Chains A and B, each alone.
Chain A
Amino acid sequence: MYTTELDKSRPVDLQTGEPKDLVDAFEARVAADEFIEPKDWMPEAYRKTLIRQISQHAHSEIIGMYPEGNWITRAPSLQRKAILLAKVQDEGGHGLYLYCAAETLGASRDEMVDALHSGKAKYSTIFNYPTLTWADIGAIGWLVDGAAIMNQVPLQRTSYGPYARAMVRVCKEESFHQRQGYSIMLALAEGTDAQRRMAQDALNRWWWPSLMMFGPPDDASPNTERSMRWRIKRETNDELRQKFVDATVPQAELLGLSIPDPDLTWNETRGAYDFGDIDWSEFYAVVKGEGMCAKERITARKKAWDDGAWVREAADAYEAKKQARNVA
């Protein structure tokens, strides 16, 4: 659901002493938009940057199930419930596609899961905000998944083959997520005054966190240049954010809702919307784990993992028993 590298504090250093002919050949291949596959030679920094980015992306998909999972039992109709269940299941699937892509780079699933549960690994800040009303489920699909699509569409052409292929699959499914969210917003917007207020309140709370999903501004993203050269990233954070604003404002107008930004104006010369400053101190606080629901999310995740331990153990025992029978 989310891809921008969150942890900017430790850029991966370029390794010295890598054979120059291999480095040059690698650079030439990515510059020519060729795909790099798991067994191809790649610089260590490329491998490490990708493992970090893909695993953070996977963790975000997994944690992304929690804010929405909250509402499965409280969906307003059986159809909405079935849809939300399918959407949350997709997020779990996306996490699995991405973990597999990271594993092709030599990361183990076990280590990645441990890193998430111990709080060492980052995931998208957006999931540390609470889902207070049913309208939040609409706003998440429309805005959060909408922002994710903006991020993920260019990643279908990212230079690492397994990541690009996972993104193709994810993007196909993500479009349903955004539309079901918008459909919830539409129903509320056409509803009673109280329902319209609920929709507006959800937009007010999710708008700025959604803009933050694209990551820090370009001048505060030290890794952007190298990631662009290596085609790990195809467009900068600010470019994608602008695209998102331009696409979303007319959709809000259609709902009859207003974007909570007094500085938002159409800029005729740029052919794009100007928008207000983002409160980055909030973003960095949430990245550091000070988000409202940070503890709750990880606690719920660990509980699900621990509660499922007996199933994993039973599956192992069953396999061991079958093996023993085959030997005998």
Chain B
Amino acid sequence: MSKDWPLWEVFIRAKGGLDHKHAGSVHAPDGEMAVNHARDVYTRRMEGVSIWVVKSTDIVSSDPDAAGQMFEPAKDKIYRHPTFYELPDEVKHM
């Protein structure tokens, strides 16, 4: 049995207006300490203004082996992109 503290995934907001982005992970006995560790490990150079931590075991992820059936159906729906539509030259901007 490993004596390790639980692993927490760390998400950092670089500055106001941006999303929190995954930065890495830390071990800590509780969430509060995980935030403190994350601050020391991932924001020594003003990399963030806000930190989220989530227990790694609480993350549910998609199965890489099923990536095909998950994501490929979007591939042939190119009409979802604005570039699919040709505009007459007279329409200068839309």
Q: Check B44 against A90 for contact (C-beta < 8 Å).
A: yes
* B32 → chain A closest CB, angstroms: 9
A319 touches B29 (CB 8 A): yes
Enumerate 25 A-B pairs (CB-CB under 8 Å) in ascending A order.
A39-B61, A39-B64, A40-B64, A86-B44, A90-B44, A93-B41, A93-B44, A97-B24, A100-B24, A103-B25, A109-B27, A110-B2, A110-B4, A111-B2, A165-B24, A166-B24, A169-B24, A315-B5, A315-B30, A315-B33, A316-B5, A316-B29, A319-B29, A319-B30, A322-B30
Contact partner of A96 (CB less than 8 A), chosen from B5, B41, B45, is B41
A contact residues around B35 at 8 Å (CB): none
Q: Is A37 an interface residue (CB 8 A)?
A: yes
Instruction: Please tell me if the beta carbons of A318 and B30 are within 8 angstroms of each other in the complex.
Output: yes
Q: Are B4 and A108 within 8 A (Cβ)? A: yes
Query: Is B26 an interface position by the 8 A CB rule?
Result: yes
Interface residues of A in 160-175 (CB under 8 A from B): 165-166, 169, 173
Instruction: Say which size band chain A's interface belongs to.
Output: 20 to 34
Is B77 an interface position by the 8 A CB rule? no
Is there an interface contact between A97 and B41, defined as CB atoms closer than 8 Å?
A: yes
Other than the known A109-B27, A315-B29, what 19 A-B pairs have Cβ atoms closer than 8 Å? Answer: A39-B61, A41-B65, A89-B44, A90-B44, A93-B40, A93-B41, A93-B44, A96-B41, A100-B24, A100-B26, A108-B2, A109-B2, A109-B4, A110-B2, A110-B4, A169-B24, A315-B30, A318-B30, A319-B29
